[in-house]
Structure 1
Amino acid sequence: MRKPQIVVSTPFRLHSHQQVYALQQQRYLQKYICSTWHKPQSFPYKYFRYLPKALQRKINAFCAKRSYEPIDAYYVEQHPFAEVVRVLLNELTRSRFNKYLVDWQHQTHDSIAAKRLKKLHPDIVVGYEISCAETFRTAKEMGITTVLDLANVHYEYCTPLEKIFDGDDFDHQLTKAINQRKEIEYRHSDYILCISQLAYNSLRDNGIPEEKIRLVNLGADLSIFQCKKHQQNEKFSMLFVGSVIKRKGVDLLLEALQELQLKNSELTIVGANDHNDILSKYDQSLFTHIPFLPHSELVQHFHKAHVFILPSYLDSWGMVVNEAMACGTPVIISDNVGSKDLVTKENGFVVPHGNVKALQEKILYCYHHRDELFAMGQKAGESVVKFTWEQYARNLCVVIDDIYKNRK
């Protein structure tokens, strides 16, 4: 049987680089349409080394999230205009209009990808949520099989939570417009890939036929994130990794710690702040903030931490949970983090989302029982052995083969 020719389209990387690499390995990949992709030997990237050192560091951090060395540059088709405009305007406005710029970037990318389909004529197009409504409409007109990769959950599950973590910044009109596009994407998708049981259930419970849904869990790179051999730090050390936004529950974590005032303890927050003022509202002695770390350095922080904490209001999966557990660090996460599927009472804790008291209770348990945490971390490492990117690739390709075989 002829191998399928597949186009993957997304304006943001998310987990698409692993998907694209898996398809490339099977010779299924036709094109990877993205916003910005770092090609070190191409214009303009090869001239970045002549920029001032401070600017180089900032650009390198940006590019690190928009590259993956195993992907052959031949397959990558980048359209950077919208992302460059968004990033520059965010810098000028301190991200005041970021959500509108992000939405504009999604729509701009969607329009570009739809036009490119008419030239490429793939068998299957994989589009990412909020950025493929027009692409899928065009695909259906052309008889192309459509696969929605849902990195989130169904919008009916998500919207009430967005009202909580967005607070006064919640924009009803923008959310309504985005949800209408999501509805079009659901309707025009032949299949929907989701990344957790949480996401699967949200789709099923909101009327998406189960025969249309395929669950493919995400993984971690166990060649980088390796289990620690001993606990390196005597001071009680907590770690949060993720964007410094309310959605990730960083405000809940800081509120919990500000009340607890734990002696001889430390919290390290690793993640982009993007000009929001969450951190400024709390006692600065509570934490150390690091805007970005490459994986090679992030591993050291996972090894140093007694416990990893991700109290998100909503996270469809949360790859950092895999990575923390792979490093032998027990976790405290909320019940709205999809990777809770990995967590048992032997390797971590799951707390109700938005519940500061429950979060404090588990932090205090870890603080007073830190002699138990190393053994819990070893159990955590054992729990994620099957959740690798290699296994993700195998599961994905089984799904794609089935989709191609049964295409209409």
Structure 2
Amino acid sequence: MKVLVTHPGLQHSHQMAQALHEQGLLCQYWSGVPVRGPGEPAPWWLPPSLGAKVREVGIPRALRRHPLCFPAMLKLGLHRRIGLNRYLGMSQSAYAHRVFHLFDAWAARRVEALRPDVVVAYENSAMRTFEAARRIGARCVLDAPAVHRATAAELLGLQPDPYLACIDARKDREVELADLVITCSEFAAQTYAQAGVPSAKLRPILLGATPPVNVQRRRTRAGTRFLYAGGLTTLKAVDLLQQAFAMVRAQVPEAELAVAGGGAEPGLAAALASTPGVTLLGALPQPALYQELADADCLVLPSRFDSFGMVVAEALACGTPALVSERVGAKEILREFPRAGWVVQVSAQSLYDRMLELATVRASLDEARPYASLAGEKYTWARYRSAAVATIATLC
């Protein structure tokens, strides 16, 4: 069996491709965002800030293709610089979707020549690729990193419009064509089941993390240090976190909140910056993020909904306990290791109550660290790769 993995960006597709290569099953890995092999430099044309983020894989160069023309306009901001969005009458989100659809068409034209046995493709960039795969008798695996689009629309309060209807139709067609739909958590799989997707198609696989070997905790601060890492958006409930921490800080003046991430929605960065005790770290390369995770007393991820929440696994891998909302898929790790963190409702009050307790009774955090390490030792990328290969093998 030979498997093609294709993704217009990256996400965790390189881990899927790596897993298949390790078992001799990968025939090609096509990704818009480049990766590099051991000892390979980052592409020379990438700015240093992006070059530092290029992931390393053990996949030979001969098995990798990176059609950079698609994501380059997004990553380098060229569509904004030349005013292409305005010229085409598209929002930034619509423009991004169109890039994914172009990548899908690019991959579809090449699938029939490659003739793989199985194609693994990703949400909103798989429809044409799967249609081509079906024409040659290949099996189709949809790797869905988000919750089902109906759940997302409900939780976000999205109003129907022709453009959204077009995107939804593509996503529904992808699910229809797929032999298997891999989700990042049971929480995400349930949203597909609720939308009528047969349970026989659904395969939840929790993601993982593997920190650099040189990351060591360097605790020097007296007060409790909370850390948030991710986009500064209301979807991630950063607004609720800011409100909760402001109340905690009023009660515990030595408490701190470090915020790592970019892409701030209007007003959120300013609200955080004006809150005493908050430090804005900006977007960090992976090694620097792992160090911040190791140095923190507790990760906080209060998302309104999150299919998984990669940073939770990364924090646990560093031995740092996590506080997450009930709508974060990674809560399943904490259900298995309940002493490694805490799950709360999506509200500023619930966040405040738990954060105040942790800031006041530091022993709870100290007691949680060994259990966080145990959880992190289990939920590694090696575990994910093993589960991914086992899942793909069921198509034989």
| SS of match in other structure, 1:338 | coil
Tell me the equivalent position of 1:134: 128
Which amino acid in structure 1 is aligned with residue 29 of structure 2?
Y
Which of residues 350, 371, 392 is equivalent to 2:343?
A: 350
Spell out the pairing of 1:3-402 with structure 2 (5 A cutoff).
4-38=1-35, 45-46=43-44, 59-86=47-74, 87-90=77-80, 97-163=91-157, 172-222=161-211, 224=213, 228=217, 231-262=219-250, 263-273=253-263, 277-286=267-276, 287-344=278-335, 345-353=338-346, 355-402=347-394
Partner Cα separation in structure 2 for residue 77 and residue 199 of structure 1: 30
**C-alpha displacement of 1:148:** 0.3
**C-alpha displacement of 1:327:** 1.4
**C-alpha displacement of 1:44:** 9.8
How far does the alpha carbon of each residue in 1:193-237 deviate from its partner, in whole angstroms, 9 at most, with x for none? Answer: 112110121122221111111222211115549685x85421221
In structure 2, relative to structure 1, the CA distance for the partners of 1:43 and 1:396 (3 Å cut) is closer
Partner Cα separation in structure 1 for residue 170 and residue 45 of structure 2: 39
In structure 2, relative to structure 1, the CA distance for the partners of 1:65 and 1:245 (3 Å cut) is farther
In structure 2, relative to structure 1, the CA distance for the partners of 1:92 and 1:134 (3 Å cut) is same
Which amino acid in structure 1 is aligned with residue 254 of structure 2?
N
Tell me the equivalent position of 1:53: none
Spell out the pairing of 1:397-408 with structure 2 (5 A cutoff).
397-403=389-395, 405=396
**C-alpha displacement of 1:35:** 1.3
Partner Cα separation in structure 2 for residue 326 and residue 63 of structure 1: 24
Partner Cα separation in structure 2 for residue 207 and residue 242 of structure 1: 31
Point out where structure 1 has 5 or more consecutive residues left out of the alignment: 49-58
Which amino acid in structure 1 is aligned with residue 2 of structure 2?
Q
**C-alpha displacement of 1:91:** 5.7
Kept in 1, the 8 Å contact 2:42–2:51? The answer is no
Kept in 2, the 8 Å contact 1:232–1:303? The answer is no
Partner Cα separation in structure 2 for residue 196 and residue 188 of structure 1: 21
How far does the alpha carbon of each residue in 1:132-182 deviate from its partner, in whole angstroms, 9 at most, with x for none? Answer: 11111121122111000011111121111222xx8xxx7744332221111
Which amino acid in structure 2 is aligned with residue 350 of structure 1?
V
- Of 68-77 and 316-325, deviating more is 68-77
In structure 2, relative to structure 1, the CA distance for the partners of 1:113 and 1:66 (3 Å cut) is farther
Which amino acid in structure 2 is aligned with residue 257 of structure 1?
F
Partner Cα separation in structure 1 for residue 44 and residue 348 of structure 2: 48
Kept in 2, the 8 Å contact 1:225–1:327? The answer is no
Partner Cα separation in structure 1 for residue 206 and residue 41 of structure 2: 36
Partner Cα separation in structure 2 for residue 69 and residue 398 of structure 1: 20
Which amino acid in structure 1 is aligned with residue 142 of structure 2?
L
Kept in 1, the 8 Å contact 2:150–2:195? The answer is yes
**C-alpha displacement of 1:282:** 4.1
Identical aligned residues as a percent: 26
Tell me the equivalent position of 1:55: none
In structure 2, relative to structure 1, the CA distance for the partners of 1:346 and 1:274 (3 Å cut) is closer
In structure 2, relative to structure 1, the CA distance for the partners of 1:292 and 1:356 (3 Å cut) is same
TM-score in terms of structure 1 length: 0.86
Partner Cα separation in structure 2 for residue 66 and residue 112 of structure 1: 23
Partner Cα separation in structure 2 for residue 46 and residue 72 of structure 1: 19
